[in-house]
Amino acid sequence: MTDFADLDALAAAVGTELGVSDWLQVDQERINTFADATGDHQWIHVDAEKAAQGPYGHTIAHGFLTLSLLVPLTNQATTVGGITMGINYGLNKVRFITPVPSGGRIRARVHLDSVSEIPGGIQAVRTVTIELEGADKPACVAESIVRYLK
């Protein structure tokens, strides 16, 4: 984890890796809870018997579940002091590259691409790579925009 004392310290880190989160297991209970919360009960996510006969041989996490875990994972990878709040401002690009199997473990690797001034703070663009333990390719890569306000 990288702790930045303030926005100036964060801005000085443009072009560097900010940190890596701990591993997080994505179990079937989390997948089912996400399905209930979103109404997305596609069989590949929630029906273990049918999914065993499908293309992956098991259930997989929703891509948007993986994406939703960016916040807690990136918060483990880096912190910024001297701010009143951080706001998720959006995403420029997201790709779901490798499906996350039920029981799989993921972590976030955070790279700071750019920083620009905005009224009351800065806007940071970060590339967040969600790695899947044991996989050759990441589960997800997202260009995430965060606003840090003083």
For 84-108, write each residue's pLDDT tens digit: 999 999 999 999 999 999 999 999 9
Mean pLDDT of the chain: 97
Domain containing residue 138? 2-149
CATH code of residue 66: 3.10.129.10
Q: What is the mean pLDDT of residues 101-128?
A: 98
The residue among 85, 135, 137, 92 whose CA lies nearest residue 113 is: 92
The whole model's pTM is what? 0.95
State how far the Cα of 13 lies from the Cα of 15, in Å rounded to an integer: 6
Q: If DSSP codes are grouped into helix, strand and coil, which group holds residue 121?
A: strand
Please tell me the total count of domains within the chain: 1
